[in-house]
Amino acid sequence: MELDKDLGTEAGRQAWRAILADPAGTLLCSDFDGVLSPIVLDPDAAWAAEETVGALARLGGLVGKVAVVTGRMARKAVQLGRLDERPGLESMSVLGLYGFERWDAATGEFVEPDAPEGVATAAAEIPGILAGLGLGAARVEDKRLSVGVHTRELPDPQSAFDALAAPLTELAARHDLRLEPGKFVFELRAPGVDKGDAVRSLVAEIQPRCIVFAGDDLGDVPAFEAVRELREAGTLEGLLICSGSDEQDALIALSDIVVPGPPGVAGIFNRLATALEG
């Protein structure tokens, strides 16, 4: 089963053919929020959709390696995805906080380094910044190695998001942190690691012939760019899937396939699984 000519780019169709030819040589990576789980007001309630995790589990038994690469803490992604309970995902890995943390299903162990300098100090200043802007109701999320500021639950999330851009940029620069914008969220974290670095580390570890990455947000741009660079260098074949939404279109130009949110991701994952099973 091949991708239709009107579905995806030529590079994507070439990667699809390569995956079918060598599933054991395929690394499949997925973001969590907006890809495996729907975007919801409360990040702690973003349980992974059954259909997407089920499709991922189907592929877990068919390809060489499945991994989740997320800005969430690894423990939280495992919990919200119930990834430690799912048959088919016994050899998967979760790279949390853009690669700072890692969980491997095979051992059940979490690797969780100490918090970077500056995160706690910056986090302590955020309530004052929010109060000064009249945004004291914004949700502040402590991720231990980073801190997130969410505006989704506010009456005007876009205006609040725009108002926070400059003060949080200044705060991040003052504490030598990286400011990562997302869907109505800013995250302050240590510089030096992003999802592109996480992808490259997995590629170096696994040496795949093909890689699939499914993402939805600005934080996934470095991962998409890393896959495109590896593909253009002739290192491997790559298939880039954008879980599209009305809130963010940053990945569309970088993608081979654009699908409508998590249900679309489940559909393309199941389609690939069916092709491999057949």
Asked if 28 and 138 sit in the same domain, the reply is: no
Helix (H) / strand (E) element for 213: namely strand 210-215
Mean pLDDT, all residues of the chain: 92
| Domain-located, residue 260 | yes
The separation between CA 36 and the C-alpha centre of its own chain, rounded to angstroms, equals: 9
89 is in which domain, residue-wise? 10-113+194-277
Give the residue carrying structure tokens 């579905």.
7
Asked if 128 and 228 sit in the same domain, the reply is: no
Asked if 185 and 198 sit in the same domain, the reply is: no
pLDDT in tens, 149-161: 999 999 999 999 9
pLDDT in tens, 206-229: 999 999 999 998 889 999 999 999
**Residues 94, 101: Cα–Cα separation, whole Å:** 8
Burial of residue 162, with CB atoms counted within 10 A of its CB: 0-12 exposed, 13-18 middle, 19 or more buried: exposed
| Domain-located, residue 2 | no
118 band by pLDDT with thresholds 50, 70 and 90: confident
Of 159, 189, 219, at which residue does a domain stop?
Answer: 189
Asked if 250 and 200 sit in the same domain, the reply is: yes
| Domain-located, residue 5 | no
Asked if 124 and 230 sit in the same domain, the reply is: no
CATH code of residue 75: 3.40.50.1000
pTM: 0.83
DSSP state of 148: E
| Domain-located, residue 46 | yes
Please give the radius of gyration of the chain, using alpha carbons only, rounded to the nearest integer: 18
Work out how many domains the chain is built from and give that number: 2
pLDDT in tens, 257-266: 999 999 999 9
